[in-house]
Amino acid sequence: VLKLFKLLHRTRQEVFKNDTRALEAARQKINEEFRNNKDETSEEKINELLKIASDVEVILRTSVIQAVHTDSDKIVLIPRKDLLQDNTPYLDKPTKK
């Protein structure tokens, strides 16, 4: 449980880097959820909560991209390096190697 708690906070710091409002909101939400369930004794329920927390960490790490308003009608996306993938062009008729 503690390992997942720390992992969520590390992921939060990486995903929301330089965004103090998002960092604080995520910190409060993570702490609140763990605090609300700290007295849980059912092994089944604990495993379910750990699965949810693990899924949230994966979604944060793989799906969240920061955006910054630069002008009244412009937004700049700031993707992290681990989100960038090599672009494979689409081919109607794949060639055989």
Each domain of the chain, given as residue ranges in start order, spans: 1-83
Q: What is the mean pLDDT of residues 17-25?
A: 91
- pLDDT, position 97: 64
This prediction has a pTM of 0.74
Q: What is the mean pLDDT of residues 11-22?
A: 91
Q: How far apart are the first and last CA of the chain?
A: 48
Nearest to 17 by CA among 52, 60, 73, 53: 60
pLDDT band at 11 (very low <50, low <70, confident <90, very high): very high
Q: Which residues pair with 77 in a beta bridge?
A: 67
- Say if residue 33's pLDDT is above 90: yes
- pLDDT, position 87: 73
Q: What is the mean pLDDT of residues 22-37?
A: 94
